[in-house]
Amino acid sequence: MRRLRDQAAIVTGGARGIGRAIAARLAAEGAAVLIADLDGRAAEAAAAEIARGGAEAAGLRVDVALRASVEAAVAEAVRRWGRLDVLVGNAGIMDRMAFLEMTDDFWRRVLTVNLTGAFLSGQAAARQMVLQPEGGRIVFTASNSGVFGGRGRAAYGASKAGIINLVQSMAIELAGHGIRVNAVAPGPTRTHAGQPAELWPGVAQRMPLARYGTPEEIAAVAAFLAAPESSFVTGHVYAADGGYTAAGIMEG
């Protein structure tokens, strides 16, 4: 399928894991993709790999916590392709610390990258999209940790809960400009070989599909939300989590 032919996209945090899979999927769907990542060399390498497959891609070092940096990414996409149709705000960090031991620096770091980064990149993209007659689509990576509490996840969970509300608020305000805003919420996903091959028994017991998801499965949902098929969908969070949210996370 080439649902995104002649479209231009940015994927933040696109050099590795879920972000890289999303960038590859959007490129396979026909989009020209700017991979924006704090690791500029990894972003360029990911873009080069996509380009070898015949798609158009570029890599750029971007710090989503800095307004000037995300604005530069939007400007680069427009310079290259004349427009920005899709933003996938995937950049984020997942870290744990016990609540009673949590430091100010830890809290600020997680919230700044995950939530402030989503706000800054979303706003910069939307300000370009309102100039385009066709508007655009914004997709964030949320998490089921933004719906349920988890041990050691006060900062991470709060950041993802904030993204969920940000999606809803942006969707309401931007609908009149032809901009749709949604999120994909991954559950346990095997993003690198260092992870265990099997789910922890306690997690598997609370997960109907009882296995890890793959980055490509998350990317498929993100691509749907970025594509015309989801034209009547905005302000929603699509869980790609093997039924984990439906079963209830409890404490994992």
Averaged confidence pLDDT in the chain: 94
pLDDT per position as a tens digit, 41-97 = 999 999 999 999 999 999 999 999 999 999 999 999 999 999 999 999 999 999 899
Cβ partners under 8 Å of residue 137, min gap 6: 85, 86, 87, 179, 180, 181, 182, 225, 226, 230
- The set of catalytic residues is 156
User: What does the alpha-carbon distance between residue 202 and residue 60 come to, in Å, rounded to a whole number?
Assistant: 40
147 domain residue, yes or no? yes
pLDDT per position as a tens digit, 136-165 = 999 999 998 888 888 899 999 999 999 999
2 domain residue, yes or no? no
154 domain residue, yes or no? yes
Answer whether residue 193 shows pLDDT above 80.
no
193 domain residue, yes or no? yes
Q: Which residues pair with 182 in a beta bridge?
A: 139
Half-sphere exposure of 29 (CA within 13 A, CB side): 25
pLDDT per position as a tens digit, 220-251 = 999 999 999 999 999 999 999 888 888 866 55
pLDDT per position as a tens digit, 86-138 = 999 999 999 899 999 999 999 999 999 999 999 999 999 999 999 999 999 99
Q: What is the CATH number for 26?
A: 3.40.50.720
Residue 61, pLDDT score: 98
Structure tokens at 220: 């498929």
Q: What is the pTM of this model?
A: 0.94
218 domain residue, yes or no? yes
1 domain residue, yes or no? no
Q: What residues make up the domain containing 109? A: 8-247
Tally of domains in the chain:
1
User: What does the alpha-carbon distance between residue 252 and residue 174 come to, in Å, rounded to a whole number?
Assistant: 35
* CA-based end-to-end distance of the chain: 37
152 domain residue, yes or no? yes
117 domain residue, yes or no? yes
Q: Could you give the C-alpha distances from 226 to 5, 22, 41, 89, 118, in angstroms and in order?
A: 12, 11, 26, 12, 16
CA neighbor of 113 nearest in space, from 46, 161, 66, 54: 66
